Amino acid sequence: MRRRPFARLTGAGRGPAGTAAGGAADVLRPVAVLARGTARLAVDARRRWSATPPERRGPTAFLAGALLLTVYLLPYGPLAAGAALLAAAMWAGRGRPAQEPEEDEDAAARREERLAALYEALVPYFSSPDDPHPLYAHEGDVEQAFGDAEFDGDGRLTALRLRYPPYFRDGEPEARARIEQLLYAKCGRGREYLFTWHEDDNRLDLAVLDPLPTDIGAQPYVTAQGESVLGFTDAAGVRRTLPVHAGSGDRDEPPVLWRTGPRSAEPHLLALGQPGTGTTTLLRSLALQALPHGEVLVVDGGSAGEYGFLAGRPGVLAVESTVGGALALLRWAAEETERRLLRPAPGAGGGSGVGGGAADGGRAAPRPLWVVVDRPAALTHLAAAGRREEGQRLLEVPLRHGRAANITVVVADQFDCAAFLGAAVREHTRARVVLGPASAGQVESVLGAPPHTTPVYDVPPGRGYVRLGEGPVHRLQVPATPDPHHRETPEALRRAVLDLLPQPLAAGATEAAAADVDRVGR
């Protein structure tokens, strides 16, 4: 037998019984809305009161009492307050109640156990024997210390707000690091956490960060002259976005912009990382961005041929991977720096400008020069073995005076060779990048400040941290810029890199450019 719908089975909507039932439902509906709104207002008031720090609860209660007394003394004050409360309850209770999914009791119990275990683990750090009313105590009130908590499908914390006592030394980095390490271990390793300390409210917010996008490849960026895109970071860290073309389509992403040139406060850059973490990718990306407005010379200390695709292109002065050629190129860069410093400034020499007066031989102002050096420590070792001039000593002049000469030096090496970097490299590279798996101590030793998130060890190539001068530490994802001549490079990425290169010079033009560089060097 076919079953009838529920409305027909109960007789709703037809006959006297249905009419009576419908009338009763219409009468009870405003009551249900009012009850639901009152409950929501009560829950919201309790949540706000729980989030209020203890030292602010007294003034808040006094202010609320004074306000209630003032309303009571006003003519028709209680009536107006009652009407306003009734209207607020009706407004809060509007709409149908949300149908919350039925939660597994076991999952809810596991979440409570996780919060309780985290609370107990924080007791030794947030308690004091001299505190008569401790916020953290064994078998204490978890709800009083913890605010909003969010979990993922596996029952792991993704966000948490916790309060801590005022006597905790939240101004000391060591004390903060202990708490962050504990939360990282208890909330689940393998994820990147952001810790936001609110010292004025004695509150700590924990949040799990989403991975940075890895589908952005090499492409022309909408930047001003003198700006280079190191990579992309979190939206909360920068105030600007750039339109990019990614694997999932066109969108806007927040970039980390590095400004170079005579007015830059961080004219040179140092990138460190483990092998295969993307330091060479970063150098290739910067070289491609420099070509439209400047000139590039590349020293490949690793002799891996990662920059061979740049050879013979307009704007690329030379690409050297041999010891003798690299030393000659660095020597030319040092001499070129001195020549640029000796050029008369605009308006000097009796009014002859840089743009072609007699003082400078009628030559135009030189274009920005980028000196890209990959693995200088290996080059230094090979030069010392052959009893040649040390390559890093030749970098001292461009590093010290490159800012005034409009010369930018970009250096990349591995963590294992960081101790062999010269003093000039360590002193004058104020823009720093750390790529790949690294501990918080390693990141701080390179950037001069600890990371604001917990480092993870399972990261894609090009993932790391960046700091420009004395600025904040940002997460960084370098755009994919592989070697287009490598056989394992995907066709889409290979074509994207080749499209950014200017058309190669003809054979005669290449020889003429090389002869010009050699003549200037002499």
Tell whether 309 and 187 lie within a shared domain. no
What pLDDT score was predicted for residue 503?
85
Residues 410 and 430: beta-carbon distance below 8 Å: no
Question: Are 419 and 481 found together in one domain?
Answer: yes
Q: Which residues span the domain enclosing 72?
A: 25-91
Q: Give the end of a domain, one of 147, 176, 208.
A: 208
Residue 406 lies in a domain: yes
pLDDT of 353 over the 50 cut: no
State how far the Cα of 370 lies from the Cα of 257, in Å rounded to an integer.
Answer: 17
Q: How confident is the model at residue 522, as a pLDDT?
A: 45
Question: Does position 129 have pLDDT exceeding 70, yes or no?
Answer: yes
**301: in domain:** yes
Confidence band (pLDDT; 50, 70, 90) for 108? Answer: confident
Question: Which tens digits make up the pLDDT trace of 266-285?
Answer: 999 999 999 999 999 999 99
Residue 414 tokens, joined: 């591995």
Task: Give the model's confidence band at 91: pLDDT under 50 very low, under 70 low, under 90 confident, else very high.
Answer: confident
Over residues 420-434, the pLDDT tens digits come to: 898 999 999 999 999
Question: Looking at the structure, do residues 253 and 390 belong to the same domain, yes or no?
Answer: yes
Domain with 371 in it: what CATH number?
3.40.50.300
CB 341 within 8 A of CB 405: yes
Integer Cα distance of 45 and 211 in angstroms: 35
Average pLDDT taken over every residue of the chain: 84
Q: Is 291 in the same domain as 256? A: yes
Query: What mean pLDDT comes out for the span 139-162?
Result: 89
Interatomic CA distance for residues 483 and 281, integer angstroms? 8
**Residue 354 in domain:** no
What is the per-residue pLDDT for 61?
A: 85
Same domain, 294 and 439: yes
Q: Give the whole-angstrom CA distance, residue 34 versus residue 88.
A: 9
Which of 91, 118, 138 marks a domain boundary?
91
Indicate if 85 and 114 belong to the same structural domain.
Answer: no
The two tokens of residue 445 are 């030793």
- How do residues 159-203 score in pLDDT, each as one tens digit? 999 999 999 999 998 999 899 999 998 888 788 999 999 999 999
Domain count, the chain: 3
- The residues, ordered by sequence, that sit 6+ positions from 84 with a Cβ below 8 Å of its Cβ are none
The pLDDT tens digits of the residues spanning 207-257 come to: 999 899 999 999 999 999 999 999 999 988 888 999 999 988 899 999 999
Torsion over CA: 134, 139, 140, 143 (sign): positive
Q: Is residue 85 part of a domain?
A: yes
In a domain, 30, yes or no: yes
Q: Residue 418 and residue 428: Cα distance in Å, rounded?
A: 15
**pLDDT level of residue 51 (50, 70, 90 thresholds):** low
Is the residue at 96 inside a domain? no
Q: Are residues 150 and 233 in the same domain?
A: no
Query: Residue 101 pLDDT more than 70?
Result: no
Out of 91-95, 121-125, 374-378, which region has the weakest mean confidence (pLDDT)?
A: 91-95
Residue 2, pLDDT > 50, answer: no
Alpha helices in 361-422, H assignment, sequence order? 376-385, 391-394, 396-405
Do 437 and 407 reside in the same domain of the chain? yes
Residues 153 and 131 in one domain: yes
Percent residues over pLDDT 90 in the chain: 50
The answer to whether position 45 is within a domain reads yes
* Residue that terminates a domain, selected from 62, 91, 120: 91
Check residues 16 and 413 and name the one with the higher pLDDT. Answer: 413
| 440 and 480 part of one domain | yes
443 and 501 share one domain:
yes
Name the least confident of 143-152, 246-255, 414-423, 505-514.
Answer: 505-514
Strand partners, 243: 252
Long-range contacts of 224-228 (CB under 8 A, 24+ apart): 225/293, 226/259, 226/260, 226/261, 226/264, 226/293, 226/368, 227/257, 227/258, 227/259, 228/257, 228/258, 228/259, 228/260, 228/286, 228/289, 228/290
Q: What are φ and ψ of residue 326, in 5° steps? A: -65, -40
110 and 69 belong to one structural domain: no
Domain annotation covers residue 490: yes
CA 398 to CA 334: how far, in whole Å?
6
Q: Is the pTM of this model over 0.95?
A: no
Amino acid 21: pLDDT: 46
